[in-house]
Chains A and B, each alone.
Chain A
Amino acid sequence: MGGIRVGKPDIRLDVSTHVPGIHEGNKGPYYKQPGHHEDGTSDARRSTGILWKKHNAIMKIMPNISPG
């Protein structure tokens, strides 16, 4: 900060917003994300853990679009 006198920081500068042990949504590997497939498609497990198989597309030719 040049010649400006500044106070003592309350926390370390490099304290991350990430707390170790907490699941990181964007952290790989991709296959560990439930409902996401290696080929870039996904199924209903992506959106819900409750009876998720019943929320999948009903025919194989249909794209599997996860419910919101």
Chain B
Amino acid sequence: MTATEPRSSARQEQGQLVEMAWDPITRIIGNLGIYTTIDFQNRQVATCHSTSSLFRGYSVFMKGKDPRDAGFITTRICGICGDNHTTCSHYAQQMAYGAKPPPLAEAIVNLGEAAEYMFDHTIFQDNMVFVDFCEQMVKETNPSVLQRAETTEAPNGHIHGYRTIAEIMRAFNPFEGEVYKQALQVSRVTREMFCLMEGRHVHPSTMYPGGVGTMPEPTTFTDYLSRLVGILDFVKKAVAMNDDVFDFFYEALPGYEEVGRRRVLLGCWGSWQNPDFCDYRYENMNEWGKAMHVTPGIIVDGRLVTNNLVDINLGMRILLGSSFYDDWVNEEPFVTHDPLGNPVDMRHPWNQTTVPVPQKRDFDGNYSWVMSPRWFDGTDHLALDTGGGPFARLWSTALSGLVKDNPYVTSTGSSVQISLPKSDQLPEMTLEWKIPHDKEGKPLSNALERDRARPYFVAYSAAMAFFFLERAMEHVRAGETKVFTDFEVPDEAVGCGFHEAVRGVLSHHMVIKDGKIANYHPYPPTPWNASPRDSYGTPGPYEDAVQDTPIFEENGPENFKGVDIMRTVRSFDPCLPCGVHMYLGEGNELKRMHSPMFGATND
């Protein structure tokens, strides 16, 4: 069992447990539902099941298609990070076709992806996550905490301009708060930056395998640069504000470290290719993987297990466990050995066959359309999570210490230093994200730290965007304006792409036979995070993080909002929180509109 150890407090008998469920919790693929039993006497969540009631079947209908179409089809998997799928699909295709895009094309893709990270993290953190931390929400769930916030000075007030923590919380209020409204503006500007590079948000129109169709004019890059400089003040203030609020929660609610805490089991597949190293050949994948501007890595209990992409690839296993599918182990394998001659497991995405079997949801049996991706380390099938994306990316980059070749981001082995130039209101600043530890010095993966990493990664993306812009403009000034390269689709080939979607690991595995797709399996972050119990009984990361989590909300069962559980689940960035449908045991059903409408009264 690779899950988190149960917390020590004694469990009460079954009679005192209250069933609570939130379904659907988000608007993402796979309609996420969280079903819990809560022990109100011990103020703790007793059990948790995460379930998905939506079947997508991309892996089913990709079969037989023209491989060049893969990026344009798979982008439709997601309505907020579709371009990550396009990029990842093109990485996989470039491996299969043996194509290497020109350096300027890589810079353009990297700039587009940087804008996407900035956009998506901003809209999610400030317009979705902060609703759980805003004045109105805290007033309804923890009035004593709000009272204390009114009198607590904000340590970084000189940067963001808010005197007390309560003032920051008021700025988080949906529809009215200053930060909420600014974030909407910033997410618009960052989407414009994205469109300059990739043509259209969120399904790019100017990205192809082998390069891009973006016209590399000087103004393409200067338009991006002027917008980037324009949002820098916001980015710097966001980091300061997040630190203030999250530090305050630790101080005001002792023990809040335990909310959403799970064993440190993180995966990051790396982001932003370095064209000086990356040739998309599988044989050299370890080298160019380590040259990425966000280093891939698997972290267990705070230690780096590997940052070799070949090991990461070969260790992937798709388990069935509690999901609505039939097993495929008796089918013919597509790939028995990788291009290096290593054996490929039958449970690897290259060999997976999706055989859906719709059935009734049963929490003692099968209860989800999500399979259970795990990473096999030789002994255990690890239920890795992505920490919402930035958390794993920063941690992996910090531990590997390989990102050093640029003037903006430096990885030190225990932290990541991010330098941002002078902006309109604020001077040049160096921000430092440090690997979090609890009071006993153990590595800490919990709800607040996952949330805290997000604005730091926005700063990371902004800093790297400066670097990519400089590289791109060097090429343009030298007249090297080539942005695409020729390729032929082979009759037989395999390819894999490793990338980071906004909310974490993303891989695309493709097998081509007779010039058509024989097998195609995208593995985005949510199957990793929202996976149900696997064949070994190991719960998925959401389940593991919510199970045993302490409840700090002051409300009882009759007006319980479940804010601590929501903070835990949302810290993993399950896309856009939408309508919440709540079930309070014994047929007493409540329906209410949540997050986006929170604060808007219709009476």
| A26 and B484 contacting across the interface, CB-CB below 8 Å | yes
| A2 and B477 contacting across the interface, CB-CB below 8 Å | no
| B217 and A66 contacting across the interface, CB-CB below 8 Å | yes
In the complex, what residues of B have CB within 8 A of residue A2's CB? 325-326, 355-357
CB distance from A62 to the nearest CB of B (A): 8
| B102 and A14 contacting across the interface, CB-CB below 8 Å | no
In the complex, what residues of B have CB within 8 A of residue A65's CB? 217-218, 476, 479, 481
Cβ-closest chain A residue relative to B324: A2
B516 within 8 A of A: yes
CB distance from B61 to the nearest CB of A (A): 8
| A47 and B213 contacting across the interface, CB-CB below 8 Å | no
Query: Of A29, A42, A47, which is within 8 A of B486 by CB?
Result: A29
Query: Of B208, B358, B479, which is within 8 A of A4 by CB?
Result: B358
Cβ-closest chain A residue relative to B209: A26
| A40 and B102 contacting across the interface, CB-CB below 8 Å | yes
| B69 and A40 contacting across the interface, CB-CB below 8 Å | no
| B210 and A26 contacting across the interface, CB-CB below 8 Å | yes
| B66 and A18 contacting across the interface, CB-CB below 8 Å | yes
B91 within 8 A of A: no
Considering only CB atoms and an 8 Å cut-off, how many residues of chain A contact the other chain?
27
Alpha-carbon distance between A26 and B486 when the two chains are bound, in angstroms: 7
Q: Given A29-B486, A36-B482, does the pair A47, B358 have CB atoms closer than 8 Å? A: no
| A26 and B208 contacting across the interface, CB-CB below 8 Å | yes
B interface bracket (residues with beta carbon within 8 Å of A) = 35 or more
CB distance from A55 to the nearest CB of B (A): 12
B76 within 8 A of A: no
Cβ-closest chain B residue relative to A57: B479
| A1 and B486 contacting across the interface, CB-CB below 8 Å | no
| A16 and B69 contacting across the interface, CB-CB below 8 Å | yes
In the complex, what residues of A have CB within 8 A of residue B69's CB? 16-17
CB distance from A3 to the nearest CB of B (A): 7
Map CB proximity to B onto A42-54 as digits: 1 under 8 Å, 0 otherwise.
1000110000000
Q: Given A1-B356, A4-B358, A28-B486, does the pair A63, B477 have CB atoms closer than 8 Å? A: yes
| B482 and A67 contacting across the interface, CB-CB below 8 Å | no
A13 within 8 A of B: yes
A8 within 8 A of B: no
| A17 and B215 contacting across the interface, CB-CB below 8 Å | no
Q: Given A17-B72, A25-B213, A41-B480, does the pair A68, B357 have CB atoms closer than 8 Å? A: no
Alpha-carbon distance between A3 and B326 when the two chains are bound, in angstroms: 10
B237 within 8 A of A: no
B68, B356, B482: most-surrounded residue (chain A CB, <10 A): B482
Cβ-closest chain A residue relative to B64: A13
Cβ-closest chain B residue relative to A6: B60
Cβ-closest chain B residue relative to A31: B486
Alpha-carbon distance between A28 and B489 when the two chains are bound, in angstroms: 12
| B215 and A68 contacting across the interface, CB-CB below 8 Å | yes
Cβ-closest chain A residue relative to B479: A63
B63 within 8 A of A: yes
In the complex, what residues of A have CB within 8 A of residue B220's CB? 68
Map CB proximity to A onto B477-509 as digits: 1 under 8 Å, 0 otherwise.
111111011111000000000000000000000
In the complex, what residues of B have CB within 8 A of residue A46's CB? 481
In the complex, what residues of B have CB within 8 A of residue A36's CB? 482
B226 within 8 A of A: no
| A16 and B215 contacting across the interface, CB-CB below 8 Å | no
In the complex, what residues of B have CB within 8 A of residue A14's CB? 64-66, 516
B601 within 8 A of A: no
B211 within 8 A of A: yes
Alpha-carbon distance between A41 and B587 when the two chains are bound, in angstroms: 70
Alpha-carbon distance between A63 and B64 when the two chains are bound, in angstroms: 45
In the complex, what residues of A have CB within 8 A of residue B358's CB? 4
Alpha-carbon distance between A29 and B72 when the two chains are bound, in angstroms: 23
A23 within 8 A of B: no
Q: Which residues of B contact A (CB under 8 A)?
A: 57, 60-61, 63-66, 68-69, 72, 102, 208-211, 213, 215, 217-220, 325-326, 355-358, 476-482, 484-488, 516
Q: Which residues of A contact B (CB under 8 A)?
A: 1-4, 13-14, 16-18, 25-30, 36, 40-42, 46-47, 63-68
